Structure 1
Amino acid sequence: MFHGSIRPPSSGSGDLSALLDRLAHASTRPRYAFMLLTLIAEVARPDGSAGPLVAKDGGLQPLRDWLCDALTPMGGRDPRRLALAARVRAELAGQERLPTDQDAADQVVEEEVKLRVRASGKTNLSRAVSEMVAAGLLRRHYQGYRVDHHNRGAQRQAVYTLTGLARILVAPAAPFSARSLAPAPIQTPSQPRQGELGL
């Protein structure tokens, strides 16, 4: 799932193992942290920065929301996740908010569980990001409507930049784009208009 984004440079074959070693010592959840860094690398620009928005399903989504949603399936079989779904169903049924149609009811429960998991996921995400910042693997700032800042607020959204050993996860920039390979359009000289000299 995550291997496609890992492209260690030829000059540093041991860098990936060094990154894993750094995560093992710097993170309380190194596997989670590695998945997080790899997801950031998947949507990062060549300079290693990602966010504040990510394109998804024809729209734009804040980076933190996208990361939480991408990591959510990893806990799909967690007994706590299953217990949460059962608890949400019972709450919604008690509030008479569940449709009578079973498929529609399942969809309502799924959406509510997704919102609650995302809320708790942001707490886990913030903790992991803080550990990566302290380890020199990430830089964090907030980009927004009026001014960029190192603190969130005022409609600012997170931007994460991979630094240090984590930079090996960023795909190298392509030396040229497909557009540069397209033949240039043939220019046909326009006829001079009255009162103009053709050059």
Structure 2
Amino acid sequence: MFHAPVSSRIPGGSDLSLLLDQLSHCCSRPRYAFMLLTLIADVTKADGSAGPEVRVGKGLIPLRDWLCDALTPMGHRDPRRMALVERVREELRKEERLSGESAADEALVQEEVRGRVRASGKTNLSRAVTELVKAGLLKRHYQGYRVDHLNRGAQRQAVYTLIGRARVLIGAPATPRRTVAPPRQGDLFAH
């Protein structure tokens, strides 16, 4: 539950190597978590936040849907995904929803598979985000109808903000550096 300070494991490491080390110790799927952070970094605003919607072409889609769709190609050769495609094809055949036209049937199968993969992808995404929040790499809140809130519901959509070491992915320092102005002549200081 409590992890040793990351800096003790990689002495003199770069910010990115320290981030990778932290992910390897706090996430059950560190590569997935890193891909997720990288995708979030790709669509962040200047303050490091992403969401609640992402522009795709001329439209907007919810951030979580966009993240799931962006991560979907990673599993296209997975035997479970191939089995899902065959299972969906068989279900549609039994329901007599296939027309016999191969292009139209394949489009229908792929659309159904995409919906199922997106649903399960949201579960994986939520688990990874929860780990990243606990690790201090991501802040999550929900924005939408009427008021922002820490809990989802009431037509609110997720907003993720990169914090801590994850800010290295957007070119920002992990901890904001304070600059102290040098004293001006005539200023009095308490010693």
After TM superposition, the score normalised by the length of structure 1 is 0.79
1:105 aligns with: 105
Moved over 2 A (4+): none
Q: Secondary structure at the match of 2:72?
A: helix
Structure 2, unmatched stretches of 5+, are 1-11, 173-191
Find out whether 1:159 has 2:159 as its counterpart. Answer: yes
2:5 aligns with: none
1:111-163 alpha-carbon deviations (Å, 9 max, x no partner): 00000000000000000000000000000000011110000000000000000
1:33 aligns with: 33
CA distance in 1, matches of 2:30, 2:24: 5
Structure number with higher relative contact order (C-alpha < 8 Å, ≥ 6 residues apart): 1
CA distance in 2, matches of 1:82, 1:155: 34
CA distance in 2, matches of 1:127, 1:13: 28
CA distance in 1, matches of 2:171, 2:113: 34
C-alpha spacing 1:91/1:44, structure 2 compared with 1 (3 Å): same
Number of residue pairs the alignment of both structures matches = 161
2:136 aligns with: 136
**Given residue 32 of structure 1, which amino acid in structure 2 is its aligned partner?**
Y
2:66 aligns with: 66
1:3 aligns with: none
Find out whether 1:50 has 2:71 as its counterpart. Answer: no
What is the CA-CA distance between 1:57 and the residue it aligns to?
2.1
After TM superposition, the score normalised by the length of structure 2 is 0.82
Q: Are the counterparts in 2 of residues 15 and 168 from structure 1 also a CA contact under 8 Å?
A: yes
What is the CA-CA distance between 1:99 and the residue it aligns to?
2.0
Whichever of the two has the greater Rg, that structure is 1
Q: Secondary structure at the match of 1:55?
A: strand
Percent identity (aligned): 70
CA distance in 2, matches of 1:113, 1:28: 26
Superposed counterparts of 1:164-183, under 5 Å: 164-171=164-171
Structure 1, unmatched stretches of 5+, are 1-11, 173-199
Q: Are the counterparts in 2 of residues 49 and 161 from structure 1 also a CA contact under 8 Å?
A: yes
